[in-house]
Amino acid sequence: MTSLKAPAGNKIKLTQIPNFIDGSYTPALSNQTFETVNPATGEAHGLVAHGTAGDIDLAAEAANRAYETGPWAHLSYAERARVVSKIGDLILVNRERLALAETTDTGKPINESYDGDILRSAQNFHFFSQFASTFAEEAYSAGENERHIAVREPVGVCGLITPWNLPLYLATWKIAPCLMMGNSIVLKPAEWTPYTAYLLAEIVREAGLPDGVFNVVNGFGAGGAGEALTRHPLVRSISFTGETSTGKAIMAAASGSLKKVSFELGGKGANIIFADADLSEAIPTALRAAFRNQGQICLAGSRLFVERAIYDQVVEKLVGLVKKIKVGDPLSKETEMGALVSAEHMEKVLSYIEIGRAEGELHCGGERLEALGAGNFLSPAVFTGLPIGSRFLQEEIFGPALPILPFDSEEEAIAMANNSPYGLSASIWTSDINRVHRLSKKIKAGMIWVNTWFARDLRTPFGGQKSSGIGREGGRYSLEFFSEAKTISYRYKG
């Protein structure tokens, strides 16, 4: 990476972030905008089109026209792959610009944007452009001179609604398979982080995607553009990543027009370390799992359970490492933890830290770092002694605050891991392969890591059980969601 320059302090020029409808950037119908704020400085850096139901109408109509009349829905996988992989190529060409935009919007360290989010966004397009051609259709021969084939067709107009924690990464995780299956898209990015979706629209146009196939409407959720999208009669499916409570609201709104829904929701991952684990791996990984992206990751190992024989040792080592985390300017390459996404979110995290102080023991952190300026900087916190039923352990904090609890037996570890409304992911650290099998079977989560965290193969199913979601993304699971199966049965003369 060459040097990245931040906009100069008080001379910030506000970036205009319009909607993108039918191949053109366009202001909101109301001409209203709202500010998007840099979490590291507290200053506005962009003016975002405030889209509402009328803008969703325009985008859904453009998407539907493109679907009904355009070539995209009828192209072969190979023809679509040429455009979709070009989008991935252009993301790499624009890597620095996109990384800077992502960090300015989210407050995450620039290294994470540049080496993590933006690379993965390009990979999402490259992966699905190749993988879709392996998506087999089915054929059966039931009786003599009879053939039944099951084909896959586009769904039509798909609404994609995405969160602020990994904005481009998670939007492209939906956009790439959705495009490969021949659909048209209306994307509603999170209101806190609209910048990279705006830049992506330019890339999509340059890659040669026909007008109307990809549209972006900015705005808010409940009562705003997000809700309008979930109620729109032309929109046939909603793929949503965000909070569990929002998923429930979307399910109710989308039921009116009976849309397909796929939900990737909240998490409260258990990270379980047994005494026979390789602690030289387990402890630094527990640190990353709890504090990467300021703890704002659905897959975070946000509850750490440690076998009692090694409990004191793990707490001491981990607290030592947490105290050394470099919190600061997200644009500095030395920074390990940046700013939380918004002042509101920081207040929410601080309210949980108050619960932690009242009910348990604070070992480090938990302070607002005012010396770093007006940004949303918190020192990473570690707590022990909290009861398993505490709101601190039950609710998703989505911030840099980790509780550690001891356990005495395998059964107790399983019970603690499952003592949560969520069921997205869990990690198990042990050298006993039989224990791995027993725990993987009994822990209720969509993804289990053994002696690792965050490892992914994009072909495997990604998603959660219980309050963590409905459906799966990844590989053929995404392609199935973004397509309709149709059976064609025929007789022929023998």
**Site track 255-274 with ligand NAD (rule: CB under 6 A), x = hit:** ---------xxxx-------
Q: Which stretch binds ligand NAD (CB under 6 A): 117-125, 221-229, 347-355, 429-437?
A: 221-229
- Among 61, 264, 396, 473, the one annotated catalytic: 264
Q: Which of 93, 166, 80, 197 is nearest to 129 (CA)?
A: 80
The contact pattern for ligand NAD, residues 413-432, with x = CB under 6 A and - = no contact, is: -----------x--------
Q: Shortest distance, CB of residue 257 to ligand NAD, whole angstroms? A: 14
Residue 363 token pair = 């070992």
Nearest to 302 by CA among 286, 324, 279: 286
With CB under 6 A as the contact rule, which of the stretches 44-52, 222-230, 302-310, 400-408 interacts with ligand NAD? 222-230
Q: Are 360 and 366 in contact (CB under 8 A)?
A: no
The count of other CB atoms within 10 Å of the CB of residue 147 is: 14
Q: Which is nearer to ligand NAD, 283 or 378 (CB)?
A: 378
447 forms part of the interface with ligand NAD (CB under 6 A): no
| Beta carbon nearer to ligand NAD, 112 or 329 | 112
309 binds ligand NAD (CB under 6 A): no
Q: Is residue 290 near ligand NAD by the rule CB under 6 A?
A: no
Per DSSP, which regions of 116-155 are E strands?
Answer: 138-140, 146-154
Shortest separation between residue 399's beta carbon and ligand NAD, angstroms: 11
Q: How far is the CB of 489 from ligand NAD (least distance, A)?
A: 38
Smallest distance from ligand NAD to CB 79, Å: 30
Residue 191 within binding range of ligand NAD, rule CB under 6 A = yes
175 binds ligand NAD (CB under 6 A): no
Interaction of residue 52 with ligand NAD, rule CB under 6 A: no
- Looking at the Cβ atoms of 298 and 386, the one nearer to ligand NAD is 298
Answer yes or no whether residue 298 interacts with ligand NAD by CB under 6 A: yes
Q: Cβ of residue 69: shortest distance to ligand NAD, in angstroms?
A: 28
Q: Is 208 left (phi over 0), alpha (psi -120 to 50) or beta?
A: left
Choosing from 78, 222, 309, 415, the residue that interacts with ligand NAD (CB under 6 A) is 222
Phi and psi torsions of 238, nearest 5°:
-125, 125
User: Minimum Å distance from CB 133 to ligand NAD?
Assistant: 26
Shortest Cβ distance from residue 127 to ligand NAD (Å)?
Answer: 17
CA 439 to chain centre: 26
Angle between helices 95-106 and 118-131 (to 10 degrees): 120
Q: Which two tokens stand for residue 250?
A: 């979307």
| Closest of 308, 299, 296 to residue 270, by C-alpha | 299
Write out the DSSP string of 378-424.
B--EEEES--TTSHHHHS---SSEEEEEEESSHHHHHHHHH-SSEES
Mention every residue, 6+ apart, whose C-beta is less than 8 A from residue 314. Answer: 273, 279, 282, 283, 286, 304, 306, 404
Out of 59, 190, 270, 282, the only residue in the binding site for ligand NAD (CB under 6 A) is 190
Q: Annotated catalytic residue: which of 102, 227, 298, 473? A: 298
Of the candidates 223, 299, 242, 244, the one whose C-alpha atom is nearest the C-alpha of residue 452 is 299
CB of 472 to ligand NAD, least distance (A): 10
- Give the list of residues 6+ apart from residue 94 with CB closer than 8 angstroms, or none: 199, 203
Which range touches ligand NAD (CB under 6 A), out of 51-59, 84-92, 214-222, 385-393? 214-222
Written as six digits, the tokens of 311 are 């409990």
Given a contact cutoff of 8 angstroms between Cβ atoms, the answer to whether 321 and 363 are in contact is no
- Say if CB 427 and CB 449 are below 8 A apart: yes
Q: Does 230 bind ligand NAD (CB under 6 A)?
A: yes
298 part of the active site = yes
Note if 264 is an active site residue. Answer: yes
The one among 46, 154, 177, 226 contacting ligand NAD by CB under 6 A: 226
φ and ψ at residue 486, rounded to 5 degrees: -130, 130
Q: How many Cα atoms within 13 Å fall on the side-chain side of residue 462? A: 19
Q: Which of 164, 311, 392, 481 binds ligand NAD (CB under 6 A)?
A: 164
Considering the rule CB under 6 A, would residue 196 count as an interface residue with ligand NAD?
no
Q: Cα–Cα distance between 63 and 215 in angstroms, integer?
A: 7
The binder of ligand NAD chosen from 242, 269, 338, 471 (CB under 6 A): 242
Residue 51 vs 156, nearer CB to ligand NAD: 51
Residues in touch with ligand NAD (CB under 6 A): 161-165, 170, 188, 190-191, 220-222, 226-227, 230, 241-243, 246, 249-250, 264-267, 298, 396, 398, 424, 464, 468-469
Residues acting as catalytic residues = 264, 298
